[in-house]
Structure 1
Amino acid sequence: MDTQEFLKKRKFIIQLGKALHKFGTPAYRLEAHLRRVASTLGIEGYFLITPTTMTFVLQHDADQEYNHMARVNPGDLDLGSLARTDELVNQLLEGERTLDDAIERLQEIADKPAPYGRLMTGLSFMLSPAAFAMLMGTSWQDVFWSGILGLPVYLLVIAAEKSRRMAEMLEPLAAILCAIGACAIAHISPQLNIPVVVLSAIIIFIPGLALTLGLAELAARDLMSGTARIMDAMMLMCKLYFGGMLGLVIGHAIFGDVPQVIPVPLERWHSWLAVPILSATLVILFKARSKDAPWGIIAGIIAFIAAQIGGIYLGESMGIFVGAFAVGIYANLYSRWQKAPASIALLQGIVILVPGSKTYIGLNALISGEVMLNQAQIGAQVFLIFMSLVAGLIFSNVAVTPRSTL
């Protein structure tokens, strides 16, 4: 390999790593993928990835070594770009594209605008809180107002895209405004469950998936990235909780206290309606391709059904293990059938199972002593659910080997 060819391959590997990191690929999967790509291209590579830093060590020959370090921002999930990047890598490794074409195409993927317009994305920000409230087993009015409060949250997200200052305070500000709004709405609908409505309205920010990925990285012995991701998720959870509590204090000061009346909960079968709705909104929020959308929705349904069946025989917390195991196997089979990253189906299914909301509820119980929705021993449940999720994913990869590292 001459020096010019090495420089091209080096450029592609570095751009590939940064792109996949930007699209939300976990560190342990990204490192393994980059090692595979570098080895196939005839380069010996070593990689150290965390949510905020990337280190590349690439060897040209025994005497020449190239090091590259970059400071990056934590990536956001973009499953559509992830799938396109995986296709590009496969085309390059199979000789269907030249290295120059691959570098140019990689840049096009990174610069590609969001696949769904403002209208559909805004609708998803409204439907996802409503669907989550249905899963929480609260009342119809809680479901309705949770969806309504999802709209101002989306407007804040749009503002954060244009302003760095807004982006820095997006999550706590959204929690503050939703809490104040819920206090105001409670005077119109006195049976409103204010804490549940606030939690549902900001559910898009609750870092349950980030906590799960962080624990998965720790289980894969990627200690630096796993610890950093978990601490970042916990700090985000604290900011959301503080914003919610501050908003409630301000709301009660402005509108006064409203007597809490226990609302009439929805029937259990409504959860089965909520799951496909929530899964469909995740397709848009995670920017998945339209052709991958049905697979993602099916993943959410499989995860929920398997967890429900497992919960009947093993209990709620351990039932999550069955759900994670089932959706892990499904994702790996999907990866083989469609020749696409397993993450596309896996993440959309896992989101249905992650106990991000219970983590928030547990934080509320720890600080205020209040228990939302009569969920006792929430701390032990959260711990068992997270461990069940990670164990289910590990066992599923043993049962069905994934097609690729992504």
Structure 2
Amino acid sequence: MPFFRKRKEEAAKPPTKAGAAISGVISGSLGESVDAAWQGLKNVGEAFRDPKRVGVRAADQPTVQWLRQLASLLSKLGAEILRSGENTGDTEKQIVDIAARYGVRARCFALPSGIFVRVETVSGDPGSELDFAPVSDGGMQLNQVEALQKLLLRMRAEAVPFDQVRDALRAEQAMPRRFQPTAVVSGYALLTLALGLLQHPTLNAAIGYAVLGAAVGVLQYLVKRHLPPLLTLLPVAASILVTALALRFAGPLLHEEPGNLFIPPLIGFLPGAALTLGAIELATDSALSGLSRLAGAVNILLMLALGILVATDTVHAHPVGKPVPDTLGAWIGWAAAALLAIGFTINSDAPNRSLTWLIAALLATRVVQTAGTLVGGQVLGAFVAGMGLPLTASWIGKRAGIPDQVIFLPAFWMLVPGAHGLSGVQQLLVNHSPAGWQTLLNVMITVVAIALGVLAGASLRRTTRLEVLPVEQATG
């Protein structure tokens, strides 16, 4: 019987490294000794930590022109990966793997502002070619991130013709917004409302968050559409606008401290992700990239604080009435996480089918963070939540066919403490309060905890690396 014969042959095959490791854990735990169980656990860790290596056939006598085109293509691809929010170390690994799929070796040097790529053959003949591509201004919409990730998966699986890659990159960069400007502004207001409710959940404050968030959303749209040269000054203008409105109207009318109202509307400018990516890059020996990101993040915080300082010095604050007691329960934090997912879907053009998974990912991240905080405090909560992010995004990606980054970026963004960083700078520059130093110190400790958690979680995923081998040794 062929079927049973095949099953016997499969049963006779030696187990994989991971399978043998797990068998060692089971056998050691059940009956042999603690040493055997410990060795089995170590083998499991090694099996899932070490990337799987797949050899690829070396390119057959490539020309100088072909190498030059490939270097140019890979540098442009790397710039798009960086623009999507990936850290420099992972960007370099992806470019090296894709170059291997074309049968050549690549060396990369990535910075947040651009990437150098050098490609060369295994034999060194006809030499090597170097190219550089800058990272264009502005982040990506989530539907663009999805298109880019699908292209990267295809390029890892096969040597895609250069023309098709160029066409795919042009199509991704030209993707229009799926929602009308009114919806985009509403999405930004939802993001503001969600962040505000996570920090200061009162009913009156929620009204202020929504109105001020809509005001910043309109300002963003007008500047991007009609005054692009002023984009650099947009953080200052936005912080002046919301601070002035909070001092003059929102605080007195809503009986809320203005300081509780004007930070959440600046959600689109808060550099929490840049702070955490910088910490990740510093931890992975990408010191130049990490310091560059941290310097850029501090610059944004100072620009926002400058706007707050200008507004507080020029606008006469009306007295705030009697504070309204907190009328919202503990459930509001979970509702805010769901609102955050909806706001991201609208404001950042996430794919429609990802909304349910985004809500699930954000709620799962909040569950893990809350549990960790209850057990060991804020730092442990940040660490375990960061560790869960790559694993959650990877699991959803495999189950739902949604690229990891589409899920990872919003959840990561919810976790990073950019608002607290701005609060610390505001306390120092505006209120002249020494407590600002303690706030900033807590922010940096939390950022490091998240960064280490993300690195730990990413190391638990089994990855596959491509490498160029001589023809007789290649397997892929």
Residue number in structure 2 paired with 1:2: 62
1:294 aligned partner, one-letter code: T
Q: How does 1:94-105 map to 2 (within 5 A)?
A: 94-95=157-158, 98-105=161-168
Give distance in 1, aligned partners of 2:310 and 2:425.
Answer: 15
Q: Which of 369, 388, 409 is equivalent to 1:326?
A: 388
| Residues 8 and 65 of structure 1: CA distance in aligned 2, closer, same or farther (over 3 Å) | closer
2:261 aligned partner, one-letter code: V
Q: Which of 405, 414, 420 is equivalent to 1:352?
A: 414
| Residues 86 and 37 of structure 1: CA distance in aligned 2, closer, same or farther (over 3 Å) | same
Residue number in structure 1 paired with 2:175: 112
Residue number in structure 2 paired with 1:33: 94
Q: How does 1:340-379 map to 2 (within 5 A)?
A: 341-369=403-431, 377-379=438-440
Comparing 354-363 and 159-168, the one that deviates more = 159-168
The Cα shift of 1:78 comes to 3.0
**Deviation string for 1:279-333 (max 9, x for gaps)?**
2212333332222332222221111111111111111232111211222321222
Give distance in 2, aligned partners of 1:260 and 1:188.
Answer: 6
| Residues 152 and 369 of structure 1: CA distance in aligned 2, closer, same or farther (over 3 Å) | closer
Q: Root-mean-square deviation (CA), in Å?
A: 2.7
Residue number in structure 1 paired with 2:114: 53
| Residues 402 and 149 of structure 1: CA distance in aligned 2, closer, same or farther (over 3 Å) | farther
Give distance in 1, aligned partners of 2:162 and 2:113.
Answer: 28
| Residues 222 and 159 of structure 1: CA distance in aligned 2, closer, same or farther (over 3 Å) | same
Give distance in 2, aligned partners of 1:14 and 1:33.
Answer: 11
Residue number in structure 2 paired with 1:384: 445
| Residues 224 and 287 of structure 1: CA distance in aligned 2, closer, same or farther (over 3 Å) | farther
> Is the 2:255–2:321 Cα contact (8 Å) retained in structure 1?
yes
| Residues 97 and 43 of structure 1: CA distance in aligned 2, closer, same or farther (over 3 Å) | closer
Larger relative contact order (C-alpha < 8 A, sep ≥ 6)? Answer: 2
Q: Does 1:302 align with 2:364?
A: yes
Percent identity among equivalent residues? Answer: 19
**Deviation string for 1:44-93 (max 9, x for gaps)?**
21111112232122225445222223444455143322221222233345
Aligned length: 401
Residue number in structure 2 paired with 1:312: 374
Comparing 204-213 and 391-400, the one that deviates more = 391-400
Give distance in 2, aligned partners of 1:251 and 1:377.
Answer: 28
> Is the 1:342–1:402 Cα contact (8 Å) retained in structure 2?
no
Comparing 57-66 and 127-136, the one that deviates more = 57-66
Comparing 9-18 and 40-49, the one that deviates more = 9-18
Residue number in structure 2 paired with 1:203: 267
Give distance in 2, aligned partners of 1:160 and 1:102.
Answer: 32
> Is the 2:119–2:128 Cα contact (8 Å) retained in structure 1?
yes
| Residues 22 and 311 of structure 1: CA distance in aligned 2, closer, same or farther (over 3 Å) | closer
Secondary structure of the residue aligned to 1:192 is: coil
Secondary structure of the residue aligned to 2:315 is: helix
Comparing 327-336 and 147-156, the one that deviates more = 327-336
Residue number in structure 2 paired with 1:214: 278
Normalising by structure 2, we get a TM-score of 0.77
> Is the 2:393–2:407 Cα contact (8 Å) retained in structure 1?
yes
Give distance in 2, aligned partners of 1:275 and 1:404.
Answer: 35
| Residues 167 and 251 of structure 1: CA distance in aligned 2, closer, same or farther (over 3 Å) | same
> Is the 2:150–2:403 Cα contact (8 Å) retained in structure 1?
no
Residue number in structure 1 paired with 2:7: none
The Cα shift of 1:403 comes to 6.8
> Is the 2:197–2:333 Cα contact (8 Å) retained in structure 1?
yes
Secondary structure of the residue aligned to 2:118 is: strand
Give distance in 1, aligned partners of 2:192 and 2:349.
Answer: 18
| Residues 336 and 259 of structure 1: CA distance in aligned 2, closer, same or farther (over 3 Å) | closer
Whichever of the two has the greater Rg, that structure is: 2
Normalising by structure 1, we get a TM-score of 0.90
Q: Note the residue ranges of structure 1 that are not aligned, 5 or more in a row.
A: none
Secondary structure of the residue aligned to 1:36 is: helix
The Cα shift of 1:402 comes to 5.2
Secondary structure of the residue aligned to 1:221 is: coil
Secondary structure of the residue aligned to 2:263 is: helix
